[in-house]
Amino acid sequence: MQKRPIALVTGTSSGFGKHASVALVKAGFQVIAAMRDLAKRDPLDKLASLHIDPEHLEVISLDVTHPEQIQDAISSIIARHGRIDLLLNNAGYALGGFAEEVSSEEWRKQFDVNVFGLIDVTRAVLPYMRQQQSGRIINVSSISGRFGFPGLSPYAASKHAVEGFSESLRLEMLPFQVQVVLVEPGSFRTAIWEKGMQDQQLDEASPYVSQMKQLMRHVEGIIEKAPAPDAVISTIVHAATTPKPRFRYPVG
């Protein structure tokens, strides 16, 4: 029996990562679903139990901001499976706030997860894909990676960095038959927006208070009315399985 291709997915406790992990198993992959906190694996396990054979889904602990964890995780996957065919870089979060008021610590944390975490996981996987002369890397970016929005400057800046990194990486990997793809979702109903805004305190003395209130209303609208992530998940599966993927897939 032909072995399933091996896919590593980051950020799988909720949202796109959770749904994509199950969808990729259904599409024929053996999926290693990585999440920072295994105590939050229940939603993934429950979704998987309804739709797939759990034999084809492995859940591991991985904090993408810890390079030593990344190296250990990749080494373990290679030891068990011998290869990695697909990397879906999905781990990330959206920090809400205005550039002047977001602290340096918060700015750095946003980039540590969304940019440097993605880069470190990618760099750990690249030697194996390069040696295989095959592989595919899908980076989940955002419409915010193409356009900036008020009150989301840290998130938009991080996603612009992901776009630039992916553009260069695609060209660097062409000689090694490793494909690089960007998926750029618009506003969809996932926990990323709610989590991104929950720590923001509304300061009535802020010069940005009216804009922040408008942003919060917009986020509430996303939470209530935005479509489910089905279109993004089907796009990810297409990008993972089509013989000749496009570089960019805007969705929504």
Is 145 inside a domain boundary? yes
Is 197 inside a domain boundary? yes
Res. 214: pLDDT tops 60: yes
Is 1 inside a domain boundary? no
What is the set of active-site residues?
155
pTM reported for the whole predicted model: 0.91
Is 40 inside a domain boundary? yes
**Residue 171: domain span:** 6-251
Proportion of the chain above pLDDT 90, given as a percent: 79
Res. 30: pLDDT tops 90: yes
Mean pLDDT computed over 213-236: 81
Check residue 252 and give its pLDDT.
Answer: 81
Check residue 218 and give its pLDDT.
Answer: 72
For the chain, the domain total comes to 1
Is 97 inside a domain boundary? yes
Question: Residue 222: which pLDDT band, with cuts at 50, 70 and 90?
Answer: low
pLDDT digits (tens, 9 = 90+) for 161-212: 999 999 999 999 999 999 999 999 987 655 655 565 555 666 778 888 888 7
Is 133 inside a domain boundary? yes
Res. 97: pLDDT tops 70: yes
Report the candidate in 126, 157, 132, 127 with the shortest Cα–Cα distance to residue 142.
157
Res. 154: pLDDT tops 90: yes
Is 55 inside a domain boundary? yes
CATH code, domain with 135: 3.40.50.720
